[in-house]
């Protein structure tokens, strides 16, 4: 679909880049000429991803927790020391799980919000200062469709993603005049091992999620990668402040992604949700 040199010489930093959708995007970016800096808490996954993407060692990795501003700044400094600049930031790191809200502890709520909302801010702030100095850059945030619909049983994630959507639109205005584009993608269900094991852990839940999508299927990783390629490339220079949905029409059909679980008797559901988290 795209020329192999679409992202030639662009330096792209991806949080959560060692697995899941982050690694899916990293593969696509590398295949189209980008130089990559991958950031994640799990150094083992980062090293394995780097070996897969470029056994010659051209992929830069840095283990960091996006909840820690100092660790984030160290990761950005490390990428700048390696490549001299960062052209694109992809905020993909996330945390999520299904839970009845009355069973959530303050620490559980805080953990998700600090990864998704605070982590996105810390990384955007650190990279944004560099981009402002250069007068150019592109930021892409990975959201979820319940950022604007809300959804039962994922309240911490929904609240945090809504904040990131507001941040996307706010910074698109604030930084647009400085040559920085800020956009977002809101994917529906796209099978990856980590996300599906936590959010759709049974065949019953998978089937229920599939049935609420008008196209009657889940998204494919390559479909998300193609959209990300377009939005971070020079093929979309006038798209700024936009959130592009890629969910087969799912959110328009059924609203919050996990709302169908309210049909299960409450105590039964709470027991099942606790079992998923063990």
Tens digits of residue pLDDT in 71-111? 999 999 999 999 999 999 999 999 999 999 999 999 999 99
pLDDT for 132-188, tens place per residue?
Answer: 999 999 999 999 999 999 999 999 999 999 999 999 999 999 999 999 999 999 999
pLDDT band at 197 (very low <50, low <70, confident <90, very high): low
Give just the sign of the alpha carbon dihedral 181, 125, 52, 206: negative
Determine the pLDDT at residue 228: 98
Angle at alpha carbon of residue 257, lines to 278 and 194, rounded to 5°: 40
Orientation angle between helical segments 155-176 and 119-134, nearest 10 degrees = 10
pLDDT of residue 260: 75
Give the count of beta carbons closer than 10 Å to the beta carbon of residue 265.
9
Going along the chain, which residue ranges are E strands? 11-15, 35-40, 60-63, 88-91, 137-142, 180-187, 243-246
Which is nearest to 179 in space by CA: 133, 135, 126, 140?
Answer: 135
**11-277 topology per CATH:** Rossmann fold (3.40.50)
- pLDDT exceeds 80 at position 267: yes
Q: pLDDT category, 194, cuts 50, 70, 90?
A: low
**Distance separating alpha carbons of residues 145 and 162, to the nearest angstrom:** 9
Q: Computed from CA positions of residues 116, 119, 123, 124, in that sequence, does the dihedral angle turn out positive or negative?
A: positive
Average pLDDT (239-249) is: 97
Burial of 149 (0-12, 13-18, 19+ CB in 10 A): middle
Average pLDDT over residues 50-58: 89
Given pLDDT bands bounded at 50, 70 and 90, which one contains residue 259? confident
Torsion sign, CA atoms 63, 69, 70, 74: positive
At residue 165's C-alpha, the angle toward residues 107 and 17, to 5°, is: 70
- The confidence score (pLDDT) of residue 74 equals 98
| % of the chain residues with pLDDT over 70 | 96
Tell me the C-alpha distance between 254 and 262, whole Å. Answer: 13
Verdict on whether the full-model pTM lies above 0.85: yes
Catalytic residue among 83, 97, 121, 146: 146
Beta bridge partners of 138: 88, 181
Is residue 127 within 8 A of residue 180, CB to CB? The reply is no
Q: How confident is the model at residue 203 (pLDDT cuts 50, 70, 90)?
A: confident
Annotated active-site residue 238? The verdict is no
Tell me how far apart the alpha carbons of residues 203 and 44 are, in angstroms, rounded to a whole number. 30
| Mean pLDDT taken over the chain | 93
Question: Contact 121/171 with Cβ under 8 angstroms?
Answer: no
């Amino acid at each position: 679909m795209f020329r192999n040199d679409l992202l030639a010489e662009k330096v792209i930093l991806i949080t959560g880049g060692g697995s899941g959708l982050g690694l899916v995007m990293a593969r696509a970016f590398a295949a189209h000429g980008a130089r990559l800096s991958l950031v994640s808490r799990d150094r083992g996954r980062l090293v394995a991803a780097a070996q897969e993407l470029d056994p010659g060692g051209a992929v830069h990795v840095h283990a960091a927790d996006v909840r820690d501003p100092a660790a984030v700044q160290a990761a950005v400094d490390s990428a700048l020391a390696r490549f001299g600049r960062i052209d694109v930031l992809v905020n993909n790191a996330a945390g999520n799980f299904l839970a009845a809200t009355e069973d959530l502890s303050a620490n559980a709520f805080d953990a998700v919000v600090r990864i998704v909302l605070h982590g996105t801010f810390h990384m955007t702030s650190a990279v944004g200062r560099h981009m402002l100095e250069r007068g150019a850059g592109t930021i892409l945030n990975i959201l979820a469709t319940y950022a604007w619909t809300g959804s039962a049983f994922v309240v911490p994630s929904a609240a945090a993603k809504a904040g990131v959507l507001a941040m996307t639109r706010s910074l698109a205005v604030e930084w647009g005049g400085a040559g920085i584009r800020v956009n977002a993608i809101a994917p529906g269900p796209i099978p990856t091992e980590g996300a599906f094991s936590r959010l759709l852990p049974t065949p019953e839940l998978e089937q229920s999620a599939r049935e609420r999508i008008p196209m009657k299927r889940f998204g494919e990783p390559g479909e998300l990668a193609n959209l990300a390629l377009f939005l971070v490339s020079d093929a979309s220079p006038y798209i700024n402040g936009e959130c592009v949905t890629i969910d087969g029409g799912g959110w328009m059909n059924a609203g919050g992604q996990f709302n169908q679980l309210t049909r299960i008797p409450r105590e039964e559901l709470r027991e099942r949700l606790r079992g998923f988290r063990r």
